[in-house]
Amino acid sequence: MQFMKTPAIILAKVSVTGFLFWYLTTKIDFSESFNRILSISPGAVILVVSLIIAGLAIVSLRWKTIMSKIGIDLETLTFFKTYLVANFFNVTLLSSLTGDAFRMWKLSRITKPLIKIFNGIVLDRLMGMLGLIIIIAFGISTLPTEEIEQWTKRSLFALLIILIIAYLILARIKSLPKSLEKWRIVKFLKKISTDTVALVKDYRCFSLMILYSIAIHVISIFVLYILAISLGITIDFLTSFALFAIVIFSMLIPISIAGWGVREGVMVVLLGLIGISSESALALSILYGIILTIVGLMGGIFWLFERK
C-alpha cells in the first residue's frame, strides 16, 4: 500500500491549495490584486531577489557550521550550491521535504556516513524553526490586536514546551544502554541524540546557529516589507516584523503545495486586522510567492548547467 500514499498526499495537497484559492476568489477581487502586482518596479524585484539569495548564503553558513560540528567538514561553496538547488525543489514541488531529500542525496555522493548527513539536515531545520519562534516572540509586543496576541502567546508557549521536552527526551536517549542498540530505531535515535546534545552544549556554536537563523528570517521579513511598500501598502515596520513572521511560520504547515493558499489566507487575515484591504494583502502574498519561485528556478537552471 506504500505506493498509494504518495499520490494520495499529492492529491490532498492539490485539493487544499485549490480549495483555499477558490475560497479567496469568492471574497476578493483577484483582478485588482493582479493589477497591483503588475505595478511593482523592476528595481524592487532585483533588490528582493538579491536579498533572498543573500539569505540562502546565510542558510548555507548555518548548515556548514552544524555539519562541521557533527564531523562533516566541506567547503562553504559546496553547501551553498547544494542549498541553491534544494531551494528549487522546495518552491517548485510539493514541500520542503523534496529539497531536504536532494540535500541528502547530493551530500551522500560526496561524503559519508548518511546518518550524519540526515542528522545535520534535521538540526538545520530545528535551528531555523527556533530562530523564527524567537522572532515571533519578540514581535508580539508590537501587535496591534489583543486577540491575535493572546493566541500567538499560547501557540508560542506550546511550541517552546514541545521543543524543551523533545530536547530532554533526546538527551536521555543518548544515555540508553548499548544492549538496546540491537533495535535499529534505538541506534538511530541515539546518533541523533548525540549530535543534538553536542551542538546545544557548545554554547558558542549554538549561539551562532541562533544568530544565523534570526538573520535569515529578518531578511525574509524585510523582503516582504519592501514588497509591501512597493505595492503602496502602508504598514509600520515593527508591526510587519511580527505579522510577517507569523506568515512565514504558516508556510511551514505541510498541507498545501509549497505553502500556496495557506500563505495567502494567513496574509489576508493578519493584514486585515490592521485595516489593509484583502486585495492588497493577496497581491503581496502572491508576489512574494512569485519572487520565491523565480529564485527557485534560478537554482534549477544552475543544477542543469552543473549536471552538463
pLDDT tens-digit profile of 211-232? Answer: 999 999 999 999 999 999 999 9
SS3 category, 193: helix
The percentage of residues in the chain with a pLDDT greater than 90, rounded to a whole number, is: 29
pTM recorded for the entire structure? 0.83
- The residue segments making up the domain with residue 16 are 12-307
Let me know if residue 128 belongs to a domain.
yes
- The predicted pLDDT at position 2 comes to 39
Enumerate long-range contacts of 277-283, CB under 8 Å, 24 or more apart.
278/27, 278/28, 279/28, 279/29, 279/32, 279/33, 279/36, 280/33, 280/36, 280/231, 280/232, 280/233, 281/233, 282/24, 282/28, 282/30, 282/33, 283/32, 283/33, 283/34, 283/36, 283/37, 283/231
Which residue's C-alpha cell is 483555499? 20
104 in Cβ contact with 114 (< 8 Å): yes
- Give the model confidence (pLDDT) of 142-166 as tens digits: 665 554 556 556 665 666 677 667 6
- Which residue reads 533588490 in cell numbers? 47
Query: Grid coordinates representing 42?
Result: 523592476
What total number of domains does the chain contain?
1
Q: What is the pLDDT of residue 3?
A: 37
Would 95 be classed as within a structural domain?
A: yes
In a domain, 1, yes or no: no
- The answer to whether residue 5 is domain-embedded is no
SS3 221: helix
Position 6 in a domain: no
Distance CA 284, CA 271 (A): 10
The answer to whether position 7 is within a domain reads no
116 pLDDT higher than 90? no
Greatest alpha-carbon pair distance for the chain in Å reads 66
Domain assignment of residue 4, yes or no: no
When the pLDDT of each residue in the chain is averaged and rounded to a whole number, the result is: 81
Residue 26 in domain:
yes
Residue 84: other Cβ atoms inside 10 A: 22
